Structure 1
């Protein structure tokens, strides 16, 4: 990769005109407005439930609330844009009104959903497809001028775990990001966060190889988000369930923090905040 592919290293995000500091790692709480997310305790069926969980996350120390209306678990059911919006917009509006200090990211790969939820009060677009599943996404984010999380995924949520293959998983993912970063730069999207996509179109071995070499993603000079929380890369090798995978999640979050992660996307905020605090003591 050439030097011109890299952003300057960033330690802050511009969120609606205010600078948000990332020099200390932050925690993002997962709020699923879905009936079929892989971890059933993360599913939220009503606005009142969403508000209670948001309050809990904020009290426990979450800096971001990541709200999704489309399950991206392997083999997830595809839903329409309208249904996704019907799930998300009322929740975003209610959180914005009840907790005006809350910073919300929207977990969507659809440009229309991104635009309408930002209008409803959200602040960040979190796109598992990096614009590859909606040709209008990157231009929409550029017009919105909001922070953008872009992730690597091989395939789609419906196909991604059907025997994923790489020539070299690290080099293939880095090459993907190198091209994507150049595309994003050309559209003048300024606040960008990179997500290696653990569990998205990768075998367990692929996931651990990426984690082992995660420092290499710092070449892009971008904040790195990781999302291991209760995923199969934890519970399958341990022969447990997602419900039993909190300890394993904390272990991987700790490793990722030591390798430069700036945002932990998790179901369990309190424990992730504790990881950040203790690893921070190691770093002085």
Structure 2
């Protein structure tokens, strides 16, 4: 096109041109204050970093089990741009239960150390009400329950605080296997489960502005289920609560790409971006640097944020 020629907004006839408006989930309460930070989830995607203080964690296999390493990993995540840090003291996978007292000893000192040096959102990945109570007292601002309120006392503990509650879809009892899961319609079934748990949490006193939903990729689901959840995630987002997509290095990524856990970054980022395009507003990720860049780029493509700067083809000289 010659210099100075006008550009056309679209080469398609008006009847065929697609809307430039991004998909935005119909959030009941789009602006959330979580601890010291405020998020407008109609325009922002939060990156949740993962730090596990377990010797047998799913991905890092004990790399951050030692106290000093766990604390260092938390502050490194903050320095790399994480909006919040999710600290876990017990794995989800089937196995022997971690005693509640031991889980408290694993996570609470890390929460205290991180809170002393940062206003980042801190969540604790636990299904025990006792762990939740101690974690909130230590400075945690979110309880991330991956078992769908298996402990009936968990919601009341959160309700008695200012903390936010993540409600996740999963069917098995904690640390129990659930072979060959079946769903008539995985998205519809997950939606019904989540709404029932929302009712349960709100009946216990947790207000809707302190509830986040997670469809639970891979949790009691096979790879086909998790792929369909990702493809149809907008139906979960349409429930009206901020949606968390915990897709990082999951087995559905590995099985799709035939990739071991150490080689799932690209697939994890693709799943996270697709989830955001379909309404997710929080992504739980292991590689913070790559995930923050991917989310900021996705926000810009969706028109939710401006580029960091504009230079290319913006002046008389082609840069």
Query: After TM superposition, is the score higher than 0.5?
Result: yes
Q: Which residue of 180, 193, 206 maps to 2:197?
A: 180
TM-score by length of 2: 0.82
Q: Unpaired runs of 5+ in structure 2?
A: 1-25, 304-319
Q: Which residue of 208, 211, 217 maps to 2:227?
A: 208
Q: Give the CA deviation at 1:230.
A: 0.6
Contact 2:141 2:163 in 1 (8 A): yes
Contact 1:224 1:261 in 2 (8 A): yes
Deviates more, 1:101-110 or 1:8-17: 8-17
Deviates more, 1:52-61 or 1:8-17: 8-17
Richer in helix (by share): 1
Contact 2:27 2:238 in 1 (8 A): no
State the Cα deviation string for residues 249-272 of structure 1 (Å, max 9, x = none).
011011011001100101111111
Is the counterpart of residue 21 in structure 1 residue 26 in structure 2? no
Q: Which residue of 31, 45, 48 maps to 2:51?
A: 31
Q: Unpaired runs of 5+ in structure 1?
A: 1-6
Is the counterpart of residue 68 in structure 1 residue 88 in structure 2? yes
Contact 1:31 1:42 in 2 (8 A): no
Q: Give the CA deviation at 1:8.
A: 5.8
Show structure 1 runs of 4+ deviating over 4 A. Answer: none
Larger radius of gyration: 2
Q: How many residues end up aligned between the 2 structures?
A: 275
Indicate the RMSD between aligned Cα atoms, in angstroms. 1.8
Q: Which has the higher contact order (CA 8 A, sep 6+)?
A: 1
Alignment of 1:86-165 (within 5 A): 86-97=105-116, 99-132=117-150, 134-165=151-182
TM-score by length of 1: 0.91
Question: Are residues 215 and 177 of structure 1, via their aligned partners in 2, closer, same or farther at CA, if it must alter by over 3 Å?
Answer: same
Deviates more, 1:254-263 or 1:19-28: 19-28
Question: Are residues 234 and 161 of structure 1, via their aligned partners in 2, closer, same or farther at CA, if it must alter by over 3 Å?
Answer: farther
